[in-house]
Amino acid sequence: MQVLDGKALAKTIKEELKADVDAIRRAAGKIPHLAAVLIGDDPASQVYVRNKVRSCEEVGFRSSLIRRPDSVSQEELLAIVNQLNDDPDVDGFIVQLPLPDHLDEDAINLAIDPRKDVDGFTPVNIGRMTLGLESYLPATPNGIMVMLERYGIETSGKEVVVLGRSNIVGTPMTVLLSRKSSPGNATVTLCHSRTKNLKEHTLRADIIVAAIGIPEMVTADMVKDGAVIIDVGINRVDDSSRPRGYRLAGDADYAGLQNKVSAMTPVPGGVGPMTVVSLLMNTLKASQRK
């Protein structure tokens, strides 16, 4: 089995980005600047944002972190978004999700200037992606597409099953994989919690993208020999043998699948690092467009 090592690939791409930034610096050009807005104390969100800030430092980007307590009002957060929209030095920014329940995520997303939407979540960028026009692609799906390309995973004419229909991963993955492009040109089936006879779908798949949020749900009996598994899930599973009392598991049963599939992403160290790299790639693009 080929391990689709996102951590190693992300390191390679970061080195390429750093070379680009060094060239910009030598030419006295504008250094890309990524800002992140973090609301509250969600542990996972803090880890994600910390990784993004560290990655910016590694490639030579400027980074800014705006933190507010989870008691922040909708009006206060919208004011921060508008300030970042208007700041000419900020090339792109993200509002880390999820937000506290009292905040309207859709309203916040709609307020972000599409030209600075390096997460690729605004309706303008989603619409342009759907039409095959130049846009900022959603970070995780774009990271997966880059991984498929760099590892030489053929998608043209393949049967792909995407598990999960979120706007962040599942739905945009179906669009990108079915587009007339490379990677792309796949026949894509989108499955979700209401899909009947799920196993019948997955057994036909040459490639499975698992983004449904159920630990180790994809098991060996659901997958045909030689399939490729892209595991987007990252779940905490209780494990008293571990110092922290839990372990991280994907949506696929890695141990049970590794002798059956031809290639698979590990968890952690697979899709996650590629999401961060994709965000950096979008930020560089935003800076260059200016």
- Structure confidence by residue, pLDDT tens digits, 199-258: 999 999 999 999 999 999 999 999 999 999 999 998 888 888 888 888 889 999 999 999
Read off the tokens for 88: 């000419």
Task: Read off φ and ψ for residue 93, nearest 5 degrees.
Answer: -150, 160
Instruction: Tell me which of 113, 128, 157 is where a domain ends.
Output: 113
What domain range includes position 251? 139-271
Q: Kindly state whether residue 4 falls inside one of the protein's structural domains.
A: no
Is the CB of residue 205 less than 8 Å from the CB of residue 160?
A: yes
- Grouping H, G, I as helix, E, B as strand and the rest as coil, residue 228 is strand
Read off the tokens for 279: 């965000």
Q: Kindly state whether residue 251 falls inside one of the protein's structural domains.
A: yes
Higher-confidence position of 42 and 284: 284
- Grouping H, G, I as helix, E, B as strand and the rest as coil, residue 87 is coil
Question: 64 and 173 share a domain?
Answer: no
Q: Kindly state whether residue 47 falls inside one of the protein's structural domains.
A: yes
Report the domain count for the chain: 2
Question: 186 and 264 share a domain?
Answer: yes
Query: Given this model, what pLDDT does residue 290 score?
Result: 66
- Structure confidence by residue, pLDDT tens digits, 151-176: 999 999 999 999 999 999 999 999 99
Half-sphere exposure of 260 (CA within 13 A, CB side): 19
- Is it the case that residue 281 has pLDDT exceeding 80? yes
pTM of the complete model beyond 0.85 = yes
Active site residues: 52, 96, 119
Read off the tokens for 102: 């009292």
| Helix, strand, coil fractions of the chain, as percent rounded to 5 | 40, 20, 40
- Structure confidence by residue, pLDDT tens digits, 82-141: 999 999 999 999 999 889 999 999 999 999 999 999 999 999 999 999 999 999 999 999
Question: 164 and 109 share a domain?
Answer: no
Question: 82 and 176 share a domain?
Answer: no
Question: 107 and 146 share a domain?
Answer: no
Question: 72 and 150 share a domain?
Answer: no
CATH label of the domain that carries residue 163: 3.40.50.720
Annotated binding site: 164-166, 234
